[in-house]
Structures are given as structure tokens and as C-alpha cells.
Chain A
Amino acid sequence: MDESWRIWEHLRLWLPGGALALLALGACAAFLFSGHSAVGRRLAHGCSALAGAALAASGIGGLSGGTLTVAHIRGALPFTDILLRVTEFSAFFLLVIGIVGLAATIYAAGYVKEYEGRKSVPLLQAGMLLFIAAMAGVVMAGNVFTFLLAWEVMSVVSYFLVMYEHERPGTKRAGFVYAVMTHIGTVFLTIAFFILRHYSGSFEFARMEQASLPASAQSLVFVLALIGFGTKAGLVPLHIWLPRAHPAAPSHISALMSGVMLKTAVYGFLLFTLHLLQPGPVWWGVAVLALGANTALFGVLHALGEVDKKRMLAYSSIENMGILFMGIGAALIFLAAGQKAAAFALAAVLVHAANHALFKSLLFMGAGAVLKAAHTANMNRLGGLIRRMPWTALFMLAGALAMAAMPPLNGFVGEWLLFQSLFALGFDGPATLLRLAGALAVAALALVGALAAFLSVRLFAMTFLALPRSEEAREAREASLSMRIAMGLLAASCVAAGVLPLVFAGAVQNTLERIAGFSGASSMLEVSPLAIAGADSEIAPAAAGLLLLCGLAAAWALARAIGGKTRTVRGETWNCGEPLEPRMTYTASGFSKPIRVAFQRLLLPSRVLYVDRDPRTPYFARGFTYTGQLPALVENLLYKPAMNLLVAGARLFRGIRNGVVQSYLLYLLATLVLILVWRIWR
């Protein structure tokens, strides 16, 4: 027993570093063997899969308590060292990174085959490995520079990955917007870090935790961190890069970006507000709650207006990040008031973050499989794929059910926890106004949840059900084995995480003590293998699942008992006597039309209907062309005017350089005179 414990202790220490080393090794192997594509590819994938498993294992290991210093390389940079450590907090995220990384690697094995011969596959793989390593580095960073280094590597590598298919229209612009926005965020982060350093005198996080700042400085750092991490997380109005970048990248990269990279932003923000800063005033939580609700609603409404599947999933990621920030806001409000329910809210955020990583990655992978099979992501041109791609359809169904937060899958667990935290705010909030805010937040979450269900139905139904709407959809083939295995793995884990909430909620319990920062935190959430309890309520998803199955069986039994055996005959769909044509089925745009109409004040949709009339008589029309779209509101109202202002100002300055040599000399003389004047004034 002792022996195995010691081995485990050793493993715990070496696993994270080992994983990082494996990833680096794999990247190098990919580069070195870029000529012999098969060998390099297998090596890279092998390293990545092993590393993914190692990361997950190190996550589990880290959860058992204590901070492990993985690597402390002193003097690696001229003025600071590189410090990598695993706390319970980072361990949770390592677990998520590991699982999704593993699944993405398995998926990539089959997915990258379509790039062979056209593009350099080893580059893509090396990029993916570095990306995973950088994300792991971000959550393992122990001081400012390691964090910023890993953050930058993550951003830059993902930029290149987004630009991988640069020949496609719109990709270059997507990469550009992404690069600009992410660096804007990094600037804010750097400033925040330096302010903290100023007051704490050290670059290490452990020291910063103990420093105390004056209230105004704390609030400033909070706002800077919110903007910095909000840009990465896709909070409105800093989200404009997300709907462009996520669809442009190859599908397994989109899965990684949506599933994991966004979570690192949550990690960073929680690191700031829970660890590096002392508990702040209530308005922090209210601001975050409002921002989160706004983002969630914006995300889901715009997702319903999209017909490109990957863009829709990107907007759905924005929505889920909004929900997560609503939970963080509730936690901050509780923390400011010193209430224990904060721990419960934090647990909700973490569990939902992990679950979202799982099902969003699954959905992106499925979208990638469909894209590969039908060569289009436009839902109006898909349909009927459930017959051509039955396995993909099944796994996507699991993903869609999870996204809609249907019991007994994992999306429901996270959603339930979030609901309960907001209910707790509504029941026991520190002030009446805050309780009302909690009630409004509940309404917002309910609306977003229901619209997300709408979104799920639309996604699945328009892609897989009814009749195929285009030639490519008719000819689609099932995804390759590795892709199916990866998707199956994630789908199974979605079901498992839903039915056995122990998986994530149990993991979170260990970290609660540390991250919530007060004792008794872990008792706010009681997790048993089959049930979760907390905040005076409980659910047993396993029992619910069992009930469902029993109900299903009961239905069949009842039908048989009452009606006896009956036959089923195949016939035509009733269509007022006409034969059924693919054009008669609803399109994705039509399916969500009621939402666009109901929310038109928020969405401002534009529609143009052009009627091509027969020139001989105005009563007959030869054709109708309908163009409808949702304008990019935030870009038009915020970013474009800001950019125009900037450009106009720059143009004004450009007048200084007018090409006349003498004027330049005049500048010189004027400066000289001014300096002399200034000198004598002093």
C-alpha cells in the first residue's frame, strides 16, 4: 500500500511535466518527419494521445490536494523564472484539457486525411500539440511571465491554426480580427498584472495572493481583468472574433478552441477574482452577472439566425460563456456578502464549464464530419443525413441533447447547478435588490436555456432529418473510424457525466475548499455517486435516467397490452396530395423565423424580397429571390465608428508629412526654439 502510494506520489509530480514534454516532442517529431508523412503523423498523434491521457491523469492526481511544483526554471528569462505548478484549481482544468485533447487527437487522425497532398499536415499537427501544451501551461503557470508566455503562445499558435485554410474566403479576415482582439485583451491583462506586482512586490502568484491593495486599485485590476479575459472568453461586446475564427479553423481545432481555450479565460478570471484579489464589493458580481446575461442572450439569439453550422456553434459557445459568467457573478455577489452559497455557485460554474467542453467539442467534431462528408456547413443544403451517417447522427444527438440541457445528460447537471445558485440568490440574496436581480437572472437563464433547446432541435433536425436538400447531402458518406471513435468517446462521457455526476461534481468538491477561500466550502455541495445535493435541493440523474427507461418500457408494454400486436406500413408523408419534395421541407432559416420576428427590436433583421415578374403581365411572377440576414450589430455600432475615428485622426496627423523639405526643417527649428524657451522658463 505504501509502495503504491509512493509510486503514485512520484507519478503525480512527473505527469504534468511529462505531458508537456511529450507534446513538445510530438511537435518536433511532426516537423522532423514532415517528409515521411505517415510516420510523422503517427508519431505526433501517438505523442498527443499519450499526453492527453497524461494531462487528464495529472488533473485527477492534482485534485487530491496540495500544490505541486512541477518545474521551477530559474533565470530562464533575464528578469524572471519559469514556474509551473499544479493546484487543485488548475488540476480541474487539466482534467478537462486532457480529455478533450485526447478526443481531438483521435478525431484528428481521421480528419487530417483530407488535407493530405494539398497542405502540410505535420504543420497542423505540430500546431495542435503546441496549442494543447500552451493551454496546459496557462493553467499551470505560477508567476506572471510564465502565464503571459503561455497565453501568448496559445494565442499565436491558434492564430496560425485558424489561418491554416487561408485559401478559403473570409479566413484571412477572421485571423486578422482574432489576432487584434486577442492582443487587445493581452494588453489589459499585462497592465493588470503589473499593477498587482506594484503592490505585492513580486511576480509570483503565491505572493500576490497575500498582498492587499487599496480599494480603488482592486477595482481597477478587476475591470482590467474582466476586459482582458472577457475578450478571450467572448463576452459581448468583445466577442466579434469568435464567430469568425471558430468556423474558419479545422474542425478539431475549433473543438479545442471552443471547448478548452474559452475555459482558460474562465480559469484566468477566477484566478484573479478569487486568488489574486481580496473579496471585493457587490457591484463586481452584479456587473459580471449583467454582462453574462447580456452575452448569453445575444449569443443564443444570433445563433438562431445563422445557417452555417459552425458559426451557429460558435455563437452557442458565446451563449454558454455568458451563462458561466452569470454563475461567476452570482458567486462574486455571495463572496462580497460573505455567504457560503458562493461555493455552490463556483461549483456550478466549474461543472458546467467541464460539461460544456465535452459536448461542444462533440458538436464541433460532428459538424466537421458532416462538413467532410457533404462539403458544406450550410444547414439549408443538408438534411436526411441520419440515413447516410447513422453513427455520426447518434453521437450528434447526444451532443444536441446535452447542449439543450436535457436530463439525464451532463448539460442538465451543469444547468441545474446554475439554476440552483441563481435561485439561492433569489431566496437568500444579501439585499432585496440583489434578490430581484437573482430573479431576473433566473428568467434570463430560463429564456436562454429554452432558446438553446430550440437551437439544438434546429441543429439536429435540419442537418440529419427529413429529406436531403442538395446533391452533396444525398451523396454523403459516414465518417471514418477514428472520427467515430472520438465522437463516441465524448458522447459516452456526456452520458456518463450526466448520469454519474460524481465525475465532475465530485472532482469539483475537492477544489472548492481551496478556490472559495473559506472553510466549510466543500460542504455546500454533497455529491454521492448517483446524486447531487446542495442549496436545499437535490437531484438524482441516475434515478431520473432509470425512470425514463422504465417509462419507455412501460409505454411499450402498455401499448402491447391494450392494443395487441399491430403492423406498421410504410407510406408517403401527407402533403395535401402532392408528392413530397425536398423543397417542401422547412429550412433552417424558416425554422427560427418566429424568434427573429419576436426579437426583431434586438436583432434588427433585414430582408429583401425581389420579385421577378413576367414582363407580359404583372399578375404572374417568374421567380422570387429572398435575402435575409442579421446585421452584425456590435461591429456596426461600436467597432466601425471607433475605427473610423481612429483612421480620421491618423489622416489628420498624416498632413504633417507634406513632402516639402523646408517644412520638416521648420519643425526642427520650432522644436529647438521651444526647448530653449522651456529651458529658460524653468
Chain B
Amino acid sequence: MRDILFELLQLVVIVLVAPLVTGFIKKTKALLQGRRGPRVLQPYYDLYKYMRKDAVVSKASSWIFTATPYVVFGATLAAAALVPVFMRDSLFSFTGDLVLLVYLFALARFFIAMAGVDTGSSFGAQGASREMFVSSLAEPALFVTLLAAALPAGTTHLSSIVAHAAERGWPTSPAFYMMVVAFAILVIAETGRIPVDNPDTHLELTMIHEGPILEYSGKSLALLQWSASIKQVLLFALLADLCFPWGLAASADGPAVLAGLAVFAVKMAAIGVIVSCVEMSTAKMRLFKVPRLLGAALVLSLFALTAEYLM
């Protein structure tokens, strides 16, 4: 019973903490750029503001447009139920494994892309087209990286991988680091950060994720922003789980859980800082150069895998 409660708590924590992570990254970027930047809790205020506003819906759009934010949030929530955060097991780990996780994200993306086209504007369709394009190139690299991460455990079941990985010590093989770098590149691609996409602007040349949601307002926009934050946190958590899985609570007792929470916070902060530094130091890539970046990630993960096979 306690297990179930704590595992449910994982889900709640992710959902609640997600905007905080986004705010933290924004603040870090600002500080690194020498600005004061918005307050760390700003995303929460934004969400609240959006929720309370009326919505304007395009005449050209259909029920797909209105349904999309709910489907996206639902899919992201379902994905969140699969990922271990501060405990080794998640409540719904029997529901699916890494493949289901990736495809739940794909489901969300599917609907966002459709919504982008639904409004009839070119911005939305362009963003949708680019979103599907980047993700289709990221998926092979993602799967190979996941294969490399899952190889020691011999299964794609998340909880098993985490449990297995937590038992071993700090890995010293170059294969591991190649895998981490590949995964990091993919996380950046999937969360839509520089150099793949710029999450802060609304110019047509720099929106991949922002394009389809340009027409949204009110509650729908709030749900979509929130989903994006949750997805980001999930990907960071996945990175942490697969590469640095220590500190996760193995059982549901208070101190272990608290320790797990604290470790989680530290990991998120660390990843956030690294992401901010990366965003600071590079510029957004031209769209047709992105395949090269993702190809590099694929090659890195293949190398990592080969190295693991040969050992």
C-alpha cells in the first residue's frame, strides 16, 4: 500500500515540478548572459494566467484542434507514469517499457502536428512538418542509444534497467560516455532546445515546436506548455535513470524516499545547468544541418554499442 502511494507521489511530483525546471533553466540562461532574467517560479504564474483566459479558436479548425491539448497532456501523463523518478519502480511499470514511452511521446507529437495543419496557416503546417522531420531522424539514434543503455540488463523494461544499473558502480568504459553524449544530444533534440530549436522565440524560422501551437490560447495553451515542460523533465529523468541511476529509493520507506527526492532535485539542477550552458554557447542550426547532428548521435551510439559488444 505504501509502495503504491509513494509511486503515485512520483507522478504528482513530476507534474508539479516540471514548470519549475523550465523556470530554473530560463533563470540560469539569463544569469549566464548577464541579465537578471524572469523569476524561477514564473512559468507557474504564466500557466495560471493562461488557464484563466478565454480562448480564441480559428474558424478553419476542427475538433482535432480542440481535442489535441487534452490528448497531448494525457499521453504525456501516461508517459510520466512509466518513468521512475525517485523510486526504482514506477506505478505503472507493467504497462510498458521504453518502446511504449517513446511511442507515447510520438502520439503527442502526432496530434500536435495535426493541430498545426488544422488551422490552415502556413506557420502551423511548417512547424508540424519540421517537428515530424526532426523526430523521424532522432528516433533511430534514440532507439540505438536505448538499446545500448538496456544492453547490460538485457531488457527494455525501465524498472529492471534501473535496478540493474544501480547495482553496478560508476562505469569507466568509454562506451558509457559515448552513450551519455549521444543521449544528451537526443534529449536536446527531443526537448526542442538550441541548437535544434529555439524554445523562446516565435519567429517562423526558429520554431519547430512552437509552430503548431501558435494558434492556441487560454486553457489549451496552458495544457500544451505544461505538457512540454513535463516531457522535458521526463527526458531529463530518463537520462538520469539510464546513465546515473544511483540514489533512487529501492523500497518505500520515508528516509529512502526523501533521499531519492533530494538526489532527484540535484540531478535535475545539474542537467538544467548543463543544458543552459549548451544553449548559451551555440547558435541554432540550420534545419538541414540537423540530420548531421543526429547522424553523429547515431554513430556515437553505434560505437558505444559495438564497444559494449566487444567487451
Please tell me whether chains A and B touch each other in their complex, using a CB distance cut-off of 8 A. Answer: yes
* Closest-CB distance, B7 to chain A (whole angstroms): 13
CA distance A384 to B118 in the complex (A): 8
Contact of B150 among A423, A462, A594 (CB under 8 A): A423
- Given A537-B155, A547-B78, A598-B288, the answer on whether A420 and B57 have CB atoms closer than 8 Å is no
Hey, which chain A residues are within 8 Å of B157, CB to CB?
Answer: 536-538
Question: Known contacts A439-B144, A443-B140: does B51 contact A461 (CB below 8 Å)?
Answer: no
Q: Flag if B128 contacts A466 (CB, 8 Å).
A: no
Q: Does A428 contact B (CB under 8 A)?
A: yes
Bound together, the chains give a CA A467 to CA B61 distance in angstroms of 8
A457-B113, A536-B155 known; A547 vs B77 contact (CB < 8 Å): yes
Verify if B54 is at the interface (C-beta below 8 Å from A).
yes
State the CA gap A594–B139 with chains docked (Å).
16
Contact across chains for B52 and A457 when beta carbons are under 8 A apart: no
In this assembly, does B247 line the interface, its C-beta being within 8 Å of a C-beta of chain A? no
Please measure, in the bound complex, the distance between the C-alpha atom of A453 and the C-alpha atom of B135, giving whole angstroms: 10
**Contact partner, B121, options A423, A456, A531, A584, Cβ 8 Å:** A584
Any B CB within 8 A of the CB of A166: no
The reply to whether A552 and B71 form a contact with Cβ atoms under 8 Å apart is yes
**B180 at interface by CB-CB < 8 Å:** no
Mark out the residues of chain A between 410 and 441 whose CB falls within 8 Å of any chain B CB in the assembled complex: 412, 415-416, 419-420, 423, 426-428, 432, 435-436, 439-440
B233 within 8 A of A: no
Question: B129 contacts A592, CB within 8 Å?
Answer: yes
Contacts of B147 in A (CB 8 A): 423, 426, 439, 442
Stretch of B89-97, B252-260, B271-279 lying at the A interface = B89-97
Distance, CA A449 to CA B137, complexed state (A):
11
A569 touches B54 (CB 8 A): yes
Which residues does chain B contribute within 8 Å of A549, judged by CB atoms?
A: 74
Q: Quick one: CB contact mask for B272-311 with A, threshold 8 Å, 1 for yes?
A: 0000000000000001100100000010001001100110
Our pick among B50, B95, B137, B214 for the contact of A598 (Cβ within 8 Å) is B137
Q: How far is the CA of A581 from the CA of B288 in the complex (A)?
A: 29
Name the distance in Å between B58's Cβ and chain A's nearest Cβ. 4
Say whether A566 contacts B94, CB under 8 Å.
no
Is the C-beta of B26 less than 8 angstroms from some C-beta in chain A? no
List residues of chain A with CB within 8 A of the CB of B103: 405-407, 412, 415-416
Q: Is the CB of A555 within 8 A of B70?
A: yes
Q: Given A401-B110, A419-B99, A548 and B54 touching (CB < 8 A)?
A: no
B58: chain A residues within 8 A (beta carbon): 570-573
Structural contact, B298 and A443, CB atoms closer than 8 A = yes
B113 touches A551 (CB 8 A): no
For the complex formed, measure the closest distance between the CB of B209 and the CB atoms of chain A, giving whole angstroms.
15
Chain B residues near A211 (CB, 8 Å)?
Answer: none
Contact present for A454 and B136 (CB under 8 Å): yes
B265 partner residues in chain A, CB cutoff 8 A: none
Within 8 A of A (CB), among B123-151: 123, 125-126, 128-130, 132-133, 135-144, 147, 150-151
Decide: B110 and A544 in contact? CB cutoff 8 A.
no
Cα–Cα distance between A590 and B126 once the two chains are bound (Å)? 9
Q: A466-B119, A551-B76, A590-B129 are in contact. Are A580 and B60 (CB under 8 A)?
A: yes
B55 within 8 A of A: yes
Q: Which residues of B contact A570 (CB under 8 A)?
A: 56-59
Q: Are A536 and B47 in contact (CB under 8 A)?
A: no
A 360-403 contacts with B by CB, 8 A: 384, 386-387, 397, 401
Spot the interface stretch: A88-96, A515-523, A557-565: A557-565
Q: Are A571 and B56 in contact (CB under 8 A)?
A: yes
The yes or no answer to B237 lying at the interface (CB within 8 A) is no
Smallest CB–CB gap between B219 and chain A, Å?
A: 4
Expressed in whole angstroms, the Cα–Cα distance for A440 and B215 within the complex equals 40
CB-CB contacts of B206-250 with A at 8 A, as 1s and 0s? 000000001100110011000000000000000000000000000
Does A556 count as interface, using CB distance less than 8 angstroms?
yes
Contact of B120 among A456, A467, A590 (CB under 8 A): A467
Contact (Cβ within 8 A) A540 B144: no
For A563, list chain B residues within 8 Å (CB): 48, 50-53, 218-219, 222
With a 10 A CB-CB cut-off, give which of A387, A432, A453 has the most chain B CB atoms.
A453
A483 within 8 A of B: no
Pair A462/B219 contact, Cβ less than 8 Å: no
A594 touches B129 (CB 8 A): yes
Choice from A460, A539, A548, A564 contacting B78 with Cβ under 8 Å: A548
Q: Does B165 contact A (CB under 8 A)?
A: no
* Complex contacts, B47 vs chain A, CB 8 Å: 562
A582, B120: Cα distance in complex, Å:
8
- Whether A407 contacts B298 by the Cβ 8 Å rule is no
Contact across chains for A537 and B132 when beta carbons are under 8 A apart: no
Does B73 sit within 8 A of A, measured CB to CB? yes
- Whether A416 lies near B291 (C-beta < 8 A) is no
* A206, CB-defined interface residue at 8 Å: no
Total number of A-B contacts with CB less than 8 angstroms?
A: 290
Contacting residues, chain B, for A564 (C-beta < 8 A): 51-52
Instruction: Name the CB-closest residue of B to A585.
Output: B120
Interface size for B (C-beta < 8 A) is 90
A595 touches B136 (CB 8 A): yes
For residue A79, CB closer than 8 A to chain B, the reply is: no
Residues of A with C-beta under 8 A to B310: 432
Which residues from chain A contact B48 at a C-beta distance below 8 Å?
Answer: 562-563
Question: Which residue, of A397, A550, A568, has the highest number of chain B Cβ atoms within 10 A?
Answer: A568
- Asked whether A573 and B120 contact (CB < 8 A) given A442-B144, A538-B97, A554-B73, the answer is yes
| C-alpha gap A560/B239 in the complex (Å) | 33
- In the assembled complex, the CB of B303 is this many whole angstroms from the nearest CB of chain A, namely 11
Q: Determine the chain A residues whose CB is within 8 A of the CB of B73 once the complex forms.
A: 551-552, 554-555
A591 within 8 A of B: yes
Say yes or no: is B33 at the interface (Cβ < 8 Å to chain A): no
Q: Which residue of B lies closest to A542 (CB)?
A: B95
**Which of B81, B119, B133 makes the CB contact (< 8 A) with A547?**
B81
Q: How far is the CA of A101 from the CA of B259 in the complex (A)?
A: 60
Asked if B117 lies at the interface with its beta carbon under 8 angstroms from chain A, I say: yes
Q: Is the CB of B64 within 8 A of A451?
A: no
Give chain A nearest CB distance to B72 CB in angstroms: 8
Would you give the shortest CB distance from B134 to chain A, in whole angstroms? 8
Report the Cα distance A525→B155, complex, angstroms: 15
The reply to whether B96 and A586 contact each other, CB–CB distance below 8 Å, is no
Considering the chains assembled together, what is the distance between the CA atoms of A453 and B288 in angstroms?
20
Q: Is the CB of B121 within 8 A of A580?
A: yes
Q: Does A332 contact B (CB under 8 A)?
A: no
Report chain B residues within 8 Å CB of A626: none
- Chain B CB within 8 A of A574 CB: yes
Given A563-B222, A567-B55, A574-B215, A585-B122 contact (CB < 8 Å): yes
Determine whether A446 belongs to the interface, using a CB cutoff of 8 Å to chain B: yes
**B57 contacts which chain A residues (CB < 8 A)?**
568-571
Q: How far is the CA of A120 from the CA of B180 in the complex (A)?
A: 65
Minimum CB–CB distance from A355 to chain B (whole Å) comes to 14
Partner of A559, one of B54, B133, B142, B219: B219
Q: Is A465 an interface residue (CB 8 A)?
A: yes
Pairs across A and B, CB under 8 Å, 17 listed:
A426-B147, A446-B142, A450-B136, A461-B128, A466-B118, A466-B119, A539-B96, A539-B99, A539-B100, A549-B74, A569-B54, A573-B59, A573-B60, A575-B122, A590-B125, A591-B129, A597-B288
Given contacts A401-B107, A416-B99, A539-B95, 11 further A-B contacts (CB under 8 A): A407-B107, A453-B109, A462-B117, A465-B118, A466-B118, A467-B60, A564-B52, A572-B58, A573-B215, A594-B133, A594-B287
B residues near A (Cβ < 8 Å) are 47-48, 50-64, 66, 69-71, 73-78, 81, 92, 94-97, 99-100, 103-104, 106-107, 109-110, 113-114, 117-123, 125-126, 128-130, 132-133, 135-144, 147, 150-151, 154-157, 160, 214-215, 218-219, 222-223, 287-288, 291, 298, 302, 305-306, 309-310
